[in-house]
Amino acid sequence: MKIVFAGTPEFAAQAMRAIDAAGHQIVLALTQPDRRAGRGMHLQASPVKEFALEKNIPVLQPESLKRNSTDSSKQLEAQAAYAQLAHTDFDVMVVVAYGLILPQEILDLAEAPPRLGCFNIHASLLPRWRGAAPIQRAIEAGDLKTGVSIMKMDAGLDTGDTVLVREIEIANHETSATLHDRLASLGAELINETLRLLESRGPLHTTAQLSDGVTYAEKILKNEADIDWSLSAAEIDYRIRAFNPFPGANSSAVGVTFKFWNSRVASQERSFPVGQPGQVLGVHDEGVYIQCGKDVIEILEMQRPGGKRMPASAILQPIMAQHNAVHFQRESVD
């Protein structure tokens, strides 16, 4: 099949590579404009663009797809993108973490016979966690399961009918990084299964999303990662793992702001001295125990500013040797 692919990050690129490997022809790629990143703040192409260039696939990178934009330069870009889409010979449009809202007129292009429509890979069990950050929000909320939904797109925010849904369990040690990789692999598998169904030209069975259980996965903001030690150990553990790799949970002690990358709730079988929220209660070979508003959390991996990720005990033991007490505090208060 001939595919127009719209996506930006590695999650999308994995699906793109799987579609190409399955023998489909990606005739056009849409992705976000190059962004400055890294220490040198050099312009970097998205993973989707990198793969497209490798395969000699034409690339469009408009700032917007709204032809009625009040910004004249964005309007011209959108008009050019629409014209190229309208004159491209394709069967299906696939959208994965693109980052731009598709206007109804773009969806209409993808639906115009003999085209078969626009399909999205979404990393949640819709209607739970519609929106920008479904992987992180599922872990932050303490969900026990998540999955991938293949959705036929409409003009709403992740409101379209689903074609395929596959569920997986969220492990109690899961970070957003590890869950991302599992869901990316599953999404690539399911989109190819969807394309096989479409290629057969048989009836495509879709399921309307339930009106109950709708939740929204708002974009992750950096200030959310400032640890509030008055929360329970379970809530803090969820957040530390949810914000790995971005933006990285953080907290300050002895005048230094540390990143926290991995954790678990301390065993109830261990006994600890009574401490204040944020107070380090002890260090052992595997981790560091810190008092929370309820229960104790065991921090397993940390990072100094400019340093590498290390076992938390290797960072805290020298500090504990120099200070009678170490107490972590929030950088800011809401």
What SS3 state is found at 212?
coil
DSSP string, 269-305: TS------TTBEEEE-SS-EEEE-SBSEEEEEEEE-T
As beta bridge partners, residue 166 has 148
Cβ contacts of 7 within 8 Å, gap of 6 or more: 13, 15, 16, 29, 30, 31, 48, 94, 95, 96, 97, 98
125 has binding-site annotation: yes
Structure tokens at 241: 């793992």
Computed from CA positions of residues 332, 255, 270, 267, in that sequence, does the dihedral angle turn out positive or negative?
A: positive
204 has binding-site annotation: no
124 has binding-site annotation: yes
Strand 42-44 relative to strand 35-37, pairing: antiparallel
Task: Give the span between the Cα atoms of 5 and 96, in whole angstroms.
Answer: 8
Task: Give the span between the Cα atoms of 79 and 65, in whole angstroms.
Answer: 8
Known binding-site residue numbers: 124-127
Binding residues for (6S)-5,6,7,8-tetrahydrofolate: 124-127
